[in-house]
Amino acid sequence: LTPVPDAGDEEDLQPRPQPVS
């Protein structure tokens, strides 16, 4: 599953590790 930031503020609220292929 790939979490997509709604307004880009989600990264500020909860920093999630980005999947590296």
Residue pLDDT, tens place only, 9-18: 555 566 667 7
| Cβ proximity of 4 and 11 under 8 Å | no
- DSSP letters along 2-20, please? ----SSS-HHHHS--PPP-
- Cβ partners under 8 Å of residue 16, min gap 6: 3, 10
Average pLDDT over residues 1-21: 65
Q: What pLDDT, on the 0 to 100 scale, is given for residue 17?
A: 74
Q: How confident is the model at residue 21 (pLDDT cuts 50, 70, 90)?
A: low
User: Does residue 2 contact residue 19 with C-beta atoms inside 8 Å?
Assistant: yes
